[in-house]
Amino acid sequence: MAEARRTNRMWRNLNAKIAAIPMVLTTLVVFVGGTAWTVLYSFTDSKLLPRERWVGFDQYERLWSNSRWLTSIENLMVYGVLSLVFTITIGFLLAVAMDQKIRYEDTFRTIMLYPFALSFIVTGLVWQWILNPEFGIQSIVRGLGWESFTFNPLNDPKLVLYGLLIAGLWQGTGFVMCLMLAGLRGIDEDIWKAARVDGIPTWKTYLQIILPMMRPVFITTLVIVAAGIIKLYDLVVAQTSGGPGTASQVPAMYVYDYMFQAQNLGQGFAASTMMLLTVLIVLIPWAYLEFGGKKHG
């Protein structure tokens, strides 16, 4: 009897189980299996093909003594911090402006969000053209009479990250504005009424009441934007190809080049494992706040 019941349970909802096969395979084989495989093989000296010759932390030692990797990490940190601060500040300010019962709200939203529909390749190439020193902004300002004006970020190792930032913000701020606006609209109208009754000025209401209430929206936005920054690749490929020299290299580029160009798989695996680690550093505190907190009410 017990045997029969067990088989019965196995066959119950068989179709639902068959339907879930792609999801089970994706999660177990690709997401968990693939990630574990890469982490494991980052401890080998795989070159052209993966092989099981274990070398401990050799690849990581080599990685952290490679100046190109160090530049990539430094770039990611600088770009990441600047990008996070600016996207979230600009996104929030625009959302507040949009929330003032303005006219033409739909038009403004359409204009702010269209870059987000475009490929990073398109974004990178357009801004490469606008920042072109011979024809773009620099030459136009010089043409107006300011002969010594210099604005050539894409060819200046010290400024190239700002060139990328201009393009990255152009593409991403509209999206953050939309998330923030949704957050602002989700706040109870009564809170505004209460603040008005108490005579608190609008700016102060935003700063001291609305901003703390939007904390969950800010955290979610932060995580989404940060995860996107760590993956940063297409934009750099299109806009600067990592140059001038190695001035705008990013980790994702290092991984790709070592895996598919330099035929040094081990280095690629080690570098991508470091990228995973960076994501986990962002993700774990968030998951803890988001899901761990619920248990305590």
Partner 1 sequence: MVDATAIYTRSDAVPRGTKPKRALSGRNIMIYGTLLVFSLYYLLPLWVMVMTSLKGMPEIRMGNIFAPPVEITFEPWVKAWSQACTGLNCDGLSRGFWNSVTILIPSVILSIVVASVNGYALTFWKFKGSDVFFTILIFGAFIPYQVMLYPIVILLREMGLYGSLWGLVLVHTVFGMPILTLLFRNYFSTIPEELFKAARVDGAGFWAIYAKILMPMSLPIFVVAIILQVTGIWNDFLFGVVYTKPDLYPMTVQLNNIVNSVQGVKEYNVNMAATLLTGLVPLFIYFVSGKLFVRGIAAGAVKG
Tell me the closest approach of the beta carbon of residue 188 to partner 1, in angstroms: 18
Residue from 63, 73, 160, 178 binding partner 1 (CB under 8 A) = 178
Residue from 237, 246, 257, 289 binding partner 1 (CB under 8 A) = 237
* 1 forms part of the interface with partner 1 (CB under 8 A): no
Tell me the closest approach of the beta carbon of residue 120 to partner 1, in angstroms: 7
- The Cβ-side half-sphere exposure at 146, using a 13 Å CA radius, reads 8
* 224 forms part of the interface with partner 1 (CB under 8 A): yes
**Window contacting partner 1 (CB under 8 A); options: 62-70, 153-161, 204-212, 236-244:** 236-244
Tell me the closest approach of the beta carbon of residue 67 to partner 1, in angstroms: 20
* Cis peptide leading into residue 133 (ω within 30°): no
* 260 forms part of the interface with partner 1 (CB under 8 A): yes
Instruction: Compose the 113-152 pattern: x for residues touching partner 1 by CB under 8 A, - for all others.
Output: xxxxxxxxxxx-xxxxxx-x--xx---x--x---------
Residue from 6, 19, 150, 211 binding partner 1 (CB under 8 A) = 19
CB nearer partner 1, residue 136 or residue 157? 136
Tell me the closest approach of the beta carbon of residue 196 to partner 1, in angstroms: 10
Residue from 81, 85, 97, 211 binding partner 1 (CB under 8 A) = 97
- The Cβ-side half-sphere exposure at 255, using a 13 Å CA radius, reads 18
Tell me the closest approach of the beta carbon of residue 33 to partner 1, in angstroms: 7
Name the residue with tokens 């995973």: 276
**Window contacting partner 1 (CB under 8 A); options: 56-64, 73-81, 92-100, 155-163:** 92-100
Tell me the closest approach of the beta carbon of residue 87 to partner 1, in angstroms: 13
Gyration radius (Cα) of the chain, Å: 25
**Calpha distance 130→121 (Å, rounded):** 14
Residue from 73, 95, 255, 270 binding partner 1 (CB under 8 A) = 255
* 227 forms part of the interface with partner 1 (CB under 8 A): yes
* 201 forms part of the interface with partner 1 (CB under 8 A): no
**Calpha distance 152→85 (Å, rounded):** 23
What residues from 21 to 50 belong to the interface with partner 1 (CB under 8 A)?
22-24, 26-35, 37-39, 50
